[in-house]
Structure 1
Amino acid sequence: MALTLFCRSALPTEAQRQSAQFADGRFHNGRALREPGLGKGLQILWRFLTDKPADATPQRQIEVLPLSRADLLAAPDQSLWRLGHSTLLFKLDGKFWLTDPVFAERASPFAFLGPKRFHAPPIALEELPEIEAVILSHDHYDHLDHDAVLALAPKVARFLTPLGVGDRLIEWGIPAAKVQQFDWWQGLQIGVLRLVATPAQHFSGRSLSDRNRTLWASWVLMTPEVRLFFSGDSGYFDGFKAIGERFGPFDLTMVETGAYNEDWPDVHMQPEESLQAHLDLGGRRLLPIHNGTFDLALHGWTEPFERIEALAAARDVALSTPRMGERLDLRAPLPGSAWWR
């Protein structure tokens, strides 16, 4: 993986300049976020280095269900597989769709330093079948894997990204004809599947000099049979209710539930907020994501699962927690097991 600590600021495109989220050369959330500042940031870094809980990483090997290309091709339509963190593979309308593909050993600009995977991906990159679209939420290292994108490119028909992220892919060598970029509330129709980039409350950047030069987004995926919501990364905000009012109710919401902390409350959600986001969206079943693969916060690695499971039970919310590599039938998703125990 190429090291990227500094980058040259590119001139904004016309689409970026026209975006309601873009001003003064950067993208912005609907409201200003609380920033920790230098002093608080150094305290957070010190805690990361010295105050990790004993159970921040698994003490045993995580069971992953291995997948092959033959398994995927033989699977029925309206299937979903969780491959790790926020990487999800869908089979819809006879085609495959992949979100935030991260197959790297570390979610980091360094090959030798940074959060390391708890488990191998259930399927190797070269085993994946032809992909109709890779759907990206933003450009952080735990959601956008440079090497995976380049390896996937020959078998991907198109990359769907928020504004600016697609320009990054083109700089990496992805053919511009394969890249389509969207502002919030923009989308496209591919066969029977409608995809819409929807708001999120987060930030972006892969270096020390490019913060918020690209946009972040959640995504809605809709066919005549099923409605799905993929959160990407987000703090809790009123956008979830707006998305639910416009596109809900959703058969399945895949909502970020992990890497949270009271020191960064506006860009990631506590499990209570993840559950409320699901309710705001009008979700029928919740699949918690952004957990179980990398150590990105100060909580135990199983804590997001335990907290969301208890909260969902208390509110009578249907939950699905498939193992990595386990097929989920989108027409009748099962609860799954407490595999993290």
Structure 2
Amino acid sequence: MSTAFLSSACTSLPRADYSSSPQQREGNFRNTEPRREAAGLAKTLQIAWRFMFDKPADTVPDRALDVLPLSQSELLAAPDLSLWRLGHSTLLLKLEGRFWLTDPVFSLRASPFQWMGPKRFHAPPIALDQLPPIAGVILSHDHYDHLDEAAVKALAPKVELFVTPLGVGDRLIAWGIPAAKVRQLDWWQATEHQGLRLVCTPAQHFSGRSLSDGNQTLWASWALLGQQARVFFSGDSGYFDGFREIGERLGPFDLSLMETGAYDPQWPDVHMQPAQSLQAHLDVKARVMLPIHNGTFDLAMHGWTDPFEQISALAEKQGVPLSMPRIGERVALQAAKGGSAWWR
């Protein structure tokens, strides 16, 4: 689950007026479908206790993971329509001849504290200062495993544009990112930059980085629409009817980057089980599915290989092509399916 419950102290969020957004009611953002069971304080503390003292041994790898190192020269020389998975939900894409980065998290821990909280299973395949110039950073929401303050600040000089859901950009501006570099969108709003059209699409999730700022920023999925490739990035979401609407309005997609990990029966409304992730992929009308949100952090009670094994079996049964690259391995978007069972 999100690490938002870990934080009780962080910089306050500037409160902008987003009352005109259909997603905001009574000062907070809401899902289109109410959560069946809100995570109250008692349940949050119970989950935190289980995370700290009752975790199975197999939620973390028992060996060093096989990561392919990347260099800036290698990235610059790579052909257009390439993708690299850097870990969790951080992906580097080369579209329209420019580089785009999703939910960049490079810190050791997905936490407000670097001395506690979920720790990386592997180092990123490339250091932040070695990344090439970035046309745009695409952010799905503000949880610590998706929005890394240190990474955002380090990336800022080489990033042309940060594209965020409503309110998330306000955090960036409060951190010192120039407002001219930040573009904030509501669901179904779109923007264009360097030949790529980006549509902010719905998700079913929640937000917050402390115990006092829950749902003050919006969460989203994204459609990345280029001349030669169409990519769907799910961010974090429970399964909901919105995926079908996204497919009807914006599909088909060449590739879905679909959340498949950190799920649990205790939070069905905000993270999908693997079967639901596969259905969401089918709903958005994507050709190939690349499972993300797994393999980097220990954020749930399931075994760390469980997302890979489950989605592989489900996709094979339904004849859905998967792309399962190693961390750092290049994926050609026009021939994305395949990959070895590197996690075994």
Question: Which residue is 1:161 aligned to?
Answer: 164
1:19 to 9, 18, 21: 21
Q: Which amino acid aligns with 1:265?
A: P
* Equivalent-residue separation in structure 1 for 2:156 and 2:42 (angstroms): 41
> How far did residue 175 of structure 1 move?
0.4
> How far did residue 9 of structure 1 move?
5.5
Q: Is the 8 A contact 2:13 2:171 kept in 1?
A: no
| Higher mean C-alpha deviation, range 273-282 or range 43-52 | 43-52
> How far did residue 62 of structure 1 move?
0.2
| Higher mean C-alpha deviation, range 223-232 or range 106-115 | 223-232
Give the SS at the match of 2:263. coil
2:40 paired with 1:37: yes
* Equivalent-residue separation in structure 2 for 1:334 and 1:9 (angstroms): 41
Q: Which amino acid aligns with 1:24?
A: E
| Higher mean C-alpha deviation, range 16-25 or range 112-121 | 16-25
Q: Which amino acid aligns with 1:208?
A: L
> How far did residue 163 of structure 1 move?
0.3
TM score, norm. by length of structure 2: 0.96
Q: Which amino acid aligns with 1:20?
A: P
CA-to-partner distance for each residue in 1:120-165, whole Å, 9 max, x for gaps? Answer: 0000000001000000000000000000000000000010000000
Q: Which amino acid aligns with 1:12?
A: A
> How far did residue 277 of structure 1 move?
0.3
* Equivalent-residue separation in structure 1 for 2:15 and 2:40 (angstroms): 27
Give the SS at the match of 2:191. strand
Following superposition of structure 1 onto structure 2, how do residues 136-285 of structure 1 map, counting pairs within 5 Å? 136-285=139-288
> How far did residue 11 of structure 1 move?
3.2
Q: Which amino acid aligns with 1:28?
A: R
Question: Which residue is 2:70 aligned to?
Answer: 67
1:52 to 21, 31, 55: 55
* Equivalent-residue separation in structure 2 for 1:261 and 1:125 (angstroms): 32
Give the SS at the match of 2:227. coil
Give the SS at the match of 2:46. helix
Q: Is the 8 A contact 1:7 1:210 kept in 2?
A: no
* Equivalent-residue separation in structure 1 for 2:312 and 2:98 (angstroms): 32
* Equivalent-residue separation in structure 2 for 1:333 and 1:28 (angstroms): 35
* Equivalent-residue separation in structure 1 for 2:200 and 2:174 (angstroms): 22
> How far did residue 36 of structure 1 move?
3.5
Question: Which residue is 2:136 aligned to?
Answer: 133
Question: Which residue is 2:4 aligned to?
Answer: none
Give the SS at the match of 1:331. helix
2:315 to 312, 318, 331: 312
> How far did residue 50 of structure 1 move?
2.4
Q: Which amino acid aligns with 1:291?
A: N
CA-to-partner distance for each residue in 1:299-338, whole Å, 9 max, x for gaps? Answer: 0100000000000001110001000000000011131111
CA-to-partner distance for each residue in 1:238-297, whole Å, 9 max, x for gaps? Answer: 000000000111110011000000000100000010000001111111000000000000
Q: Is the 8 A contact 2:14 2:170 kept in 1?
A: no
> How far did residue 223 of structure 1 move?
1.2
TM score, norm. by length of structure 1: 0.97
Question: Which residue is 2:100 aligned to?
Answer: 97
* Equivalent-residue separation in structure 1 for 2:205 and 2:337 (angstroms): 30
1:339 to 319, 338, 342: 342
* Equivalent-residue separation in structure 2 for 1:45 and 1:175 (angstroms): 36
Question: Which residue is 1:114 aligned to?
Answer: 117
> How far did residue 107 of structure 1 move?
0.1
Give the SS at the match of 1:242. helix
> How far did residue 225 of structure 1 move?
1.4
Q: How much identity, in percent, do the aligned residues show?
A: 66
Give the SS at the match of 1:158. strand
* Equivalent-residue separation in structure 1 for 2:341 and 2:203 (angstroms): 29
Question: Which residue is 1:301 aligned to?
Answer: 304
> How far did residue 220 of structure 1 move?
0.2
